[in-house]
Structures are given as structure tokens and as C-alpha cells.
Structure 1
């Protein structure tokens, strides 16, 4: 006797049937659900570029690919990939990173808010990444000319952030409802730490901002403590914070934020500005 289909079978059946559905149909989240936590120290069989110059963003932002037929490209400005082909250049760099983007609520909400800025969601879980990619494809089909500036890729930013972004490339980084890792022995896996903050300082340009939000006060205090202790960051004042449109969006558009809202929980927000580098003597 054959039992009921398990989650993987249902997911495979759903994905196989997607070819018969219109490109504008949004994916169903229930077929892409995955464990909420992933060990950032495990080998997740990820692919990543050797350096930012080796990253080909053309499949993520096809509307922003530079037309090399009309532009004079200096050969040394084209990075080379392992196959020997040239990496396609974009008209502009990715500037906003939504680290641990989950199901992409904030990533897609920021796209129309900043239509001329390339926004990237980074997520370590395979199925969740696939959901966000499908979601963006559907939104692009539903709204021609929009959401072309949003994309998502699977990555472990705790290990490979500098592989994707060059020095001072990013203007905004979002750390929304990160895994709290409550046990003290797990604190080393938190997305904010002394070491990781130095990597954020490397990829975020002076004047850029790190946005943090959580519903766990202990994690909020941890992030504030570690960013305040770092010489490259300074906490943004509350008046400036509350006037920021991105903060308003961050509070209401993430899936975790909506859950906290439904449960009438608290949200703790803190922003940190990237300071100018000190002059070398």
C-alpha cells in the first residue's frame, strides 16, 4: 500500500507542474519551506567567485548588463572565469545587501523604493533561495520594467562576503531578525561579531549604513555592543533613524517582522553609520 506523498514528493510534483503555469504566478511558499536554521560552519557545497572581479552578475540583473557592442571595454577590466570566457559587466555595481534575506520580503520591497539601485538578497538555504528567485521572476513578469534591480543568490556571508563585494562597494547592509543562537557556545555563529564587523567595514563605504532589527532584546544589545566597540562604526541617532524610509520598510516587510507584529511582540532597531577611514601617516 502506497502512503501519502511526503514533503519532497509534493515539492517535486509542484515544481514539475510549474511549466504549465503562467510566468506571472507567484510561487507557493509551502513548497519551499526548510529548516529555519543552517549551520554557517558546515560545508554547504556552495559555489563562489575567487574575487569580486570574477563574479558574473549578468544572469541576476539582465536588464543592467553593459552593452559591449557600443562601449569601448579595456581588456584588463574584464575579469576571466575558469572556462576562459569573459565575465559580462554590469552598468553599475550591487550596492545593497540583504543578508539572510529569508523569503525575500524586504528584498522585493526595497526594489521599487530604490529603482535605480541594485539590491541583492543573500540566503544560505537552498529551497528558500529558490523561492525568492522564483518570486522575483514572477514579479518581473507581472510588472514589466520593475524588480529588475532585485536578485537573490545562495551564499554563506560569514565565510565568503569579500568574495562577492569589493572594498567600499556597498551603501547599505540589512541584518534582519538574525538567528539568535541563544546558547553561549553558539554565539560564535552570530552574524554580528568582532571579526565579521571588520568585514562589514571593508565592504561598506564611508557614509554607508548597517541596518539591524530583531525581536530578541539580548541579540539587539549584542549587536549594539559589538558595533559600538568597532572603530569603523557609529550608531545613528534615533531621529535620523526614524526618518529613514528603509527603516519603515524593514519594520513591516520581512516575514519575521510580520510574525512579530501578529504576535504583538517588540522590535528592536539600531542603525550604524560607516565612518571615514583615518588618514594614514
Structure 2
């Protein structure tokens, strides 16, 4: 009994409490330090290997209405794409901005760890693809992944057409793309935001669909996939009710090679496959604007 009381007294002493608190603090600090050491070493490699995802983990959900201290262009004309697609730099425009030989035409909104991007890039070698991700560490992972793939496939000039940037597309999509600039937009396994009060944060809504209609040219396609049937029905309902979009027939949908890639190559898609879950796919074509 006396020994137990002595032990409790020792544990409550200021010096012991200080050491316990210090031990608790050291854990996360060491983890952050290892992550930074890995990233620094990875960036300095002459022929970088693919980055390790465990050093770039970040919580799955981000509040799109928060201030994420993002950098974005005032307008599409002021966006400098040259750091993202150096192989496609054409010349230096007035004012020092470097222009590209072609425009970005495919956007993967909420690209996650870039599975769709790196799978589509070799299949669409003459098209510039852009992943847009709100989470900073995940964005960095995709950028490092593309950098490594470019280095590993330098002789074949592969993956030069893929890039990723950090962006909140719910706020700033028209800042990056001109009217009718995009040919395809992918919305793969977006956050379902199950609670009704969170539905305003869904990536598909009447307002956002009008922005998609602005940046996607007539004939362009919006690709959607999710493992949540309620969200699938929500997206179908909102696109069906929008006058600028029409659902693509299922036979045409299944003939699209991008659909099979979307089903199998995203990280979320692979996870659903492992868990033997269902995937709900719907495509929507941008219609011609009526004559006014």
C-alpha cells in the first residue's frame, strides 16, 4: 500500500509530469521531421523514384468554404502554365509570360493521389491534363509523382502532358479556364457530405453546374463516378435538371475508354474494388447554347 502511494506521488511530481509531456510532444515532432527529411532527400535525387504515399497522408475531408490561403490567377489570361508543362512552352509573350503550344483541356477536380491523371496521360498524349486538389500534402505528392514519372520516361517523353496544382474549384474554377476551354471534367469519388446541412458543399449543384457549363465546350463531357448511390442520384438529378447538359446513353458511356480507366485506376476506385463495393457511373454531354 505504501509503495502504491509512493508511486502515485512520484508520478504527480512536476519533474515526472514534465518528462511525460515531453515524451508525448516528441512523437509527432519526430514523425514530422522524418517526413521533411524524406521530402528533402526525394527532391534532391538525380533520378527520383516514385514518392511514398505514407509521407504525404492528410485527412480525407477539407472544408471548401474555409480560407486555405490559396494562390490563384485573377483571370485565365494571367495564368502562367509554363512551370506545369515545360515541354509545351511555345514562346515568351509580352510582359514575360510564357505561352504554351496548346491549352489545358482536361481537368480532374479533386484528383486525390493522381491515379486517374497518370493513367490517362499516356492514353491522351496530345492533350494537357490538370489535376486540381485542395489538400496541400496530397497536391505535393501528385506533383512529385509526375516529376518522377517524367524522369523515368524521359526517352519516351511521357507524362509531360500531366500536371497538378492546389486549388479550390468551388470558388475559383473560372479563374483558371476560359469559356469553352475544357473538353472533359472528371468528378471521381467526390466527398458525399452525407448530412443534409452539408449538401451545399457537394461538388455538384445547380450553381456549380453552371460554372461547368461555362468552362466546358459544347460536345464536351462531364464524367462522374461514386460508390455512394445517394450521391450518384443527386448528381444525376442536378445535371438532368440543368439545361446545358444531357446524360450520355449507357452504350456510348461504356464505349468510352476514359470510363474504364476511371473505374479501375483511381485510388478510391481500387479501394471500392477491394471491398467488393458498387460503382455508379454517369456521363453528361455539354449541349449547344440556344440561339438568342
How many residue pairs are counted as aligned between the two chains? 266
Structure 1: how far apart are the matches of 2:100 and 2:112? Answer: 26
Once the 2 structures are TM-superposed, how far is the Cα of residue 86 of structure 1 from its aligned partner?
2.5
- Write out per-residue CA displacement over residues 219-267 of structure 1, whole angstroms, 9 at most, x where no aligned residue: 0000000000000000000000000000010000100000000000000
Matched, 1:64 2:64: no
Aligned mate of 2:104, from 94, 117, 128: 94
12-21 or 173-182, which deviates more: 12-21
Q: What's the RMSD between the two structures over aligned residues? A: 1.3
Q: Which structure is higher in helix share?
A: 2
Q: Are the equivalent residues in 1 in contact too, given 2:227–2:278 (CA < 8 A)?
A: yes
Matched, 1:14 2:38: yes
CA distance 1:263–1:22, change in 2 (3 Å) = farther
Once the 2 structures are TM-superposed, how far is the Cα of residue 8 of structure 1 from its aligned partner?
1.9
Aligned mate of 1:222, from 234, 245, 254: 234
- Write out per-residue CA displacement over residues 121-169 of structure 1, whole angstroms, 9 at most, x where no aligned residue: 0000000000000000000000011100000000000000000000000
- What aligned pairs does 1:82-161 form with structure 2 within 5 A after superposition? 85-144=95-154, 145-161=157-173
Once the 2 structures are TM-superposed, how far is the Cα of residue 218 of structure 1 from its aligned partner?
0.2
Matched residue, 2:186: 174
- Write out per-residue CA displacement over residues 168-216 of structure 1, whole angstroms, 9 at most, x where no aligned residue: 0000000000000000000000000000000000000000000000000
Q: Are the equivalent residues in 1 in contact too, given 2:189–2:226 (CA < 8 A)?
A: yes
Q: Secondary structure at the match of 1:112?
A: coil
Matched residue, 2:49: 25
Matched residue, 1:232: 244
Structure 2: how far apart are the matches of 1:116 and 1:176? Answer: 22
Consecutive unaligned residues of structure 2, counting only runs of 5 or more, are 1-18
Once the 2 structures are TM-superposed, how far is the Cα of residue 10 of structure 1 from its aligned partner?
2.1
Q: Secondary structure at the match of 2:213?
A: helix
- Where does structure 1 differ by over 3 angstroms across 4 or more consecutive aligned residues? 1-7, 19-22
Matched, 1:45 2:45: no
Once the 2 structures are TM-superposed, how far is the Cα of residue 12 of structure 1 from its aligned partner?
1.0
Once the 2 structures are TM-superposed, how far is the Cα of residue 24 of structure 1 from its aligned partner?
3.1
- Write out per-residue CA displacement over residues 22-52 of structure 1, whole angstroms, 9 at most, x where no aligned residue: 4330100000000100000000000000000
Q: What TM-score, normalized by structure 2, do the two folds share?
A: 0.89
Aligned mate of 2:254, from 216, 222, 242: 242
Matched residue, 1:261: 273
Structure 1: how far apart are the matches of 2:137 and 2:220? Answer: 31
Q: Are the equivalent residues in 1 in contact too, given 2:42–2:48 (CA < 8 A)?
A: no
Structure 1: how far apart are the matches of 2:106 and 2:44? Answer: 34
Consecutive unaligned residues of structure 1, counting only runs of 5 or more, are 79-84
- Write out per-residue CA displacement over residues 4-30 of structure 1, whole angstroms, 9 at most, x where no aligned residue: 454322211211222553433010000
CA distance 1:49–1:275, change in 2 (3 Å) = same
- Write out per-residue CA displacement over residues 39-69 of structure 1, whole angstroms, 9 at most, x where no aligned residue: 000000000000000000000000000135x
Structure 2: how far apart are the matches of 1:216 and 1:138? Answer: 33
Aligned mate of 2:263, from 207, 227, 251: 251
